[in-house]
Structure 1
Amino acid sequence: MIQALMLSFQSLSDRRVAAVLVKIIFLTIVSIVILGIGLWFALQRVFGWLNVNDDGFWSGLLSGAMIILFSILLFRVVAVAMTWVFADDIIDAVEDRHYPRQAALGKRPSLGAGLQMAVRSIVRVLGYNLLALPLYLLLLFTGVGTAIAFLLINALLLGRDLEDMLIARHGAKGAMNKLPRLMLGLIGTVGMLVPLVNFLVPILATATAVHLVHSGNSKL
């Protein structure tokens, strides 16, 4: 696992991977800006409906607070979407550099197949977290229970997403054993909670999954 993580950082020096990183950062910032503008207009409408005299300050303040909250809670979903959009470019770059034989044997999934898997992944993330919401609320009194449950559930989901990307390309040979998959999902989920680092996580997690599968460490 450690070796795979270290190798994944080398991927950041690849021009193709660097281009993907720029796209992810740009699209994420654009998404946040659009979300902020939409929230501001929505709150303006709400204040108007409630006959509250708002000069834009409170709607702007609330929009900013909601964006921060959504960024924390929904970044996982956005990151998954971004990863599915650019995953094949990342996998191509890593396999061409480190595993040319596996690259030649693998079959890149079609755009339609990738979009279907992306939708299933996003629905899975939202669905499982909504189902777990009562558990999150129940564990609030423990202080750390909610955070632990959130990390474990999303670690399982992220690990499965990363595995699915490789299975789609390499069939059963792209599968990982449960423990390495969970560990990678946990590292990725924690990383997505760290500002700025979370932009790198989709790339690093995908590259690490490639190294785990092709190096044989995923079977430990």
Structure 2
Amino acid sequence: MVSLPASFARAFGQLGDPAILRVLGKTLAITLAVFAVLGLALWYALSSAIEGWGYSLGSEIGALVAVLLTALGGWLLFRLVALFVLQFFAGEVVEAVEARFYPEKAAQVRAIPIREEMQHAARGALRALAVNAIALPFALVLLVTGVGTAILFWAVNGWLLGRELQDMVWLRHRRSPDEKPPVGALQRFLLGGATAGLMFVPFLNLLAPVIGAASATHLVHRRREAASA
């Protein structure tokens, strides 16, 4: 079996690559900007709502509440926002990994039609909404366990992430819609689960989307090489 830890080790080892650093800088800047805008919007909405009830909220208290709620929302939503932002730059991560480790594969990349990209994005968004909607009632029930909700959302995000990370690479190289992806369901889940796990760790959660995309590139290409050997 192609080693998933080896794929992650190579991804971590390439963090100093200028191309990877550029993508990391862009994704971090845009992700943090999104949360800054959300924080300001939350502050104004909260102040307006409280003033509408006939109370006055001091600017310092309003700012503090907005910061706390934004931090909480950021912890819960960071994975989704970061991966959404990464979608725009995923190709750069994959290209950087392929250029260094798989130059012959980089020369075989196919041009993905806009229609196919849009269809894939729409399917991914609908899949994420549907799976999270199904998981939400179970998550509420599991709140009494203390850890059950976190485990459930980790598993759900792991399954969704594994699929998305694989497709970032695989769609660039498959020759027909009927061609099966080289990464099996278990390894795909482990890839997504490991990436989702990194997103729970302070500081590493900033690197996790790029690490996940780079690891997926190694995993897809090494699985293809093993299958053709």
User: Counterparts in 2 of 1:25-64, with a 5 A limit?
Assistant: 25-64=28-67
Q: Which residue of 2 aligns with 1:195?
A: 202
Distance (whole Å) between structure 2 residues aligned to residue 176 and residue 219 of structure 1: 11
- SS of match in other structure, 1:105: coil
Answer yes or no: is the 8 Å Cα contact 2:182–2:224 preserved in 1.
Answer: no
CA distance change for structure 1 residues 56 and 120 in 2, over 3 Å: closer, same or farther? farther
The answer as to 2:128 corresponding to 1:125 is: yes
Distance (whole Å) between structure 1 residues aligned to residue 170 and residue 224 of structure 2: 16
Answer yes or no: is the 8 Å Cα contact 1:157–1:185 preserved in 2.
Answer: yes
Answer yes or no: is the 8 Å Cα contact 1:83–1:203 preserved in 2.
Answer: yes
CA distance change for structure 1 residues 81 and 108 in 2, over 3 Å: closer, same or farther? farther
Equivalent of residue 169 in structure 1, options 172, 187, 197: 172
Q: Give ranges in structure 1 of 5+ residues lacking alignment.
A: none
- SS of match in other structure, 2:14: helix
Taking structure 1 as the reference length, the TM-score comes to 0.91
Distance (whole Å) between structure 2 residues aligned to residue 123 and residue 66 of structure 1: 27
Q: Give ranges in structure 2 of 5+ residues lacking alignment.
A: none
Which deviates more, 109-118 or 10-19? 109-118
1:193: Cα distance to partner? Answer: 1.7
1:2-23 Cα deviation digits (max 9, x unpaired): 1111111122121111100111
CA distance change for structure 1 residues 3 and 51 in 2, over 3 Å: closer, same or farther? same
1:67: Cα distance to partner? Answer: 0.5
Distance (whole Å) between structure 1 residues aligned to residue 148 and residue 224 of structure 2: 31
CA distance change for structure 1 residues 170 and 180 in 2, over 3 Å: closer, same or farther? same
Q: Number of residue pairs matched?
A: 220
Query: Which protein has the bigger helix share?
Result: 1
User: Counterparts in 2 of 1:92-171, with a 5 A limit?
Assistant: 92-109=95-112, 113-114=116-117, 117-171=120-174
Which deviates more, 168-177 or 36-45? 168-177
Distance (whole Å) between structure 1 residues aligned to residue 76 and residue 223 of structure 2: 34
Distance (whole Å) between structure 1 residues aligned to residue 117 and residue 81 of structure 2: 16
Cα RMSD over matched residues? 2.2
1:61: Cα distance to partner? Answer: 2.4
Answer yes or no: is the 8 Å Cα contact 1:166–1:174 preserved in 2.
Answer: no
1:58: Cα distance to partner? Answer: 3.2
Distance (whole Å) between structure 1 residues aligned to residue 26 and residue 113 of structure 2: 20
1:131: Cα distance to partner? Answer: 2.5
Q: Which residue of 1 aligns with 2:92?
A: 89
Distance (whole Å) between structure 2 residues aligned to residue 211 and residue 188 of structure 1: 14
